[in-house]
Structure 1
Amino acid sequence: MAKSPSPQAATPFDILLDYEERSLAHVAGRPEMIEAPGHWRGVGFRLGQRRLVSSFDEVVEILPLPPVTPVPGAHAWMLGVANVRGSLLPVVDLKQFLEGDRTVVHEGQRCLVVRQSGGNVAVIIDELFGQRTFNDSHRTEMSGENDGRYGHFVGQAYRLADQTWGVFNMSLLTRTPEFRQATA
């Protein structure tokens, strides 16, 4: 541990450096960073009638829907591109991609920015529920969470407070050839 500089000889930089060293030496660890066995956390959201959750490792950030510029010749589910802090992000209507029904866009609309090779992509969701934490005792049999096209992306489910949450694999979605080929 660094010695505290004497007040007479210390410069403001030395004092700040001492504060930083002492602070870092006593970091207890944030609760959200501690991995507990049997616990799983993710971002909860709704698509149509389905409550889904995706891993924090797959979701880069959550944004209000930015202004979108349409891309000619793209599938209907590919809404266009958006400029987010100087980076162009493709914006996809996830419900339309999976179900064929367009998401009703409203003022408070949110999108999840998801990692994919070659750059991130923003997917529009119907409703955001925020962080959800589950443990092994919450695992349940799936009952409709993986029907239709969802079956390829939802492999397990959790039940919590009378709600079933399908675990949606965003990494698998972004590797799907149909998703990666947005031109009509």
Structure 2
Amino acid sequence: MAKRGKHKHKGRPPFAAAPAAPPSPAAVDDASAAADVDADVELDAQADVQADVQASGAEALEASGMTATEAGETASIAPARVPVRPARLLRSPFLALADYEQRSLAHVAGLPEQLDAPGLWRGVAYRVGRHRLTSGFDEVVEILPLPALTHVPGALPWLLGIANIRGSLLPVVDLKQFLEGERTVLHERQRVLVVRQPGGDVAVTIDELYGQRSFVEAQAIDASALMDGRYAHFVDRAYRMNDQDWGVFSLERLSRTPEFRQAAA
């Protein structure tokens, strides 16, 4: 009997350890609060380090003169950078338009010192026949390639037809034929000036487009000696620049001419 009892208790520990007492709710709250504080401090530190790396990286990139692509090809391991929007994208629409105007003026034909000269005049320059003409920006709605035309039966010869421009019907006039009686030889690079007139816009053909031109009062010449025929009715100012004569052609006056407005034969 003694042996069976001794064998029955073989392998059991002589005594069992008492279970640990559970932590008090106050201790749990304190430990959680301390862990949250440590996590916040670590996140703030990481954000500060990343901001410092981005700032120093941007300064180094600007000083080196390399683009971001070149820098990425040069470095084998580069820290992540937050993309920075260009300053021009952060400007207001008004400032963006003002900047575009300044860039456009930088390419104006003429001397830079003439841009703010007294009596400055600027406009769109083009050629009709042998005449070099300019018209004010306020008279030209837009400049377009020659659109597809639909012939108008019974119209005068200088009315080439009607074009559908973005859903609006636009009469297209051969300006050279109206002024000189000679039809324009149309080509694939033909341009038309869209002119605003009472009752709807009208497009007139030009032989060549030169772009923007600027003139000052010192370049003014006698327009009466320069223009002849019907041109004289629409040109009352002229300028000479680089041995070339330019007449200021009034598209607004053209659009009010009864003969121009009456295209029916």
Structure with the bigger RCO (C-alpha within 8 Å, sep 6+) is 1
What is residue 27 of structure 1 aligned with on the other side?
Answer: 95
What's the counterpart of residue 241 of structure 2?
160
Whichever residue aligns with residue 173 of structure 1, its letter is L
1:173 matched to 2:260? The reply is no
Of 121, 131, 135, 1:54 maps to: 135
Cα offset for 1:155? 0.4
Aligned partners of 1:157 and 1:105: how far apart in 2?
Answer: 27
Unaligned runs of 5+ in 2: 1-87, 106-114
Residues 13-44 of structure 1: CA distance to partner in whole angstroms, max 9, x if unpaired? xxxxxx98x723993833368x9442111111
Cα 1:23/1:83, change in 2 over 3 Å: same
Number of corresponding residues: 165
Equivalent residues in 2 for 1:66-85, closer than 5 Å: 66-85=147-166
- 8 Å contact 2:145–2:190 — kept in the other structure? yes
- Call closer, same or farther: CA 1:25–1:69 in 2, change over 3 Å: closer
8 Å Cα contact 2:224-2:236 kept in structure 1:
no
Considering only aligned residues, what root-mean-square deviation do their CA atoms show, in Å?
2.3
The whole-number CA distance in structure 1 between the counterparts of 2:156 and 2:93 is: 53
Q: Percent identity?
A: 62
Letter in 2 for 1:181: Q
CA distance in 1, matches of 2:187, 2:94: 45
* 2:223–2:235 CA contact under 8 A, matched in 1: no
Give the structure with the higher percent strand.
1
Q: Deviation at 1:145? A: 3.4
Runs of 4+ with >6 A deviation? none
Q: More helix by proportion, 1 or 2?
A: 2
Task: Give TM-score, length-normalised by structure 1.
Answer: 0.82
> Which residue is 1:182 aligned to?
263
Give 1 or 2 for the bigger CA radius of gyration. Answer: 2
Per-residue deviation, 1:65: 0.2
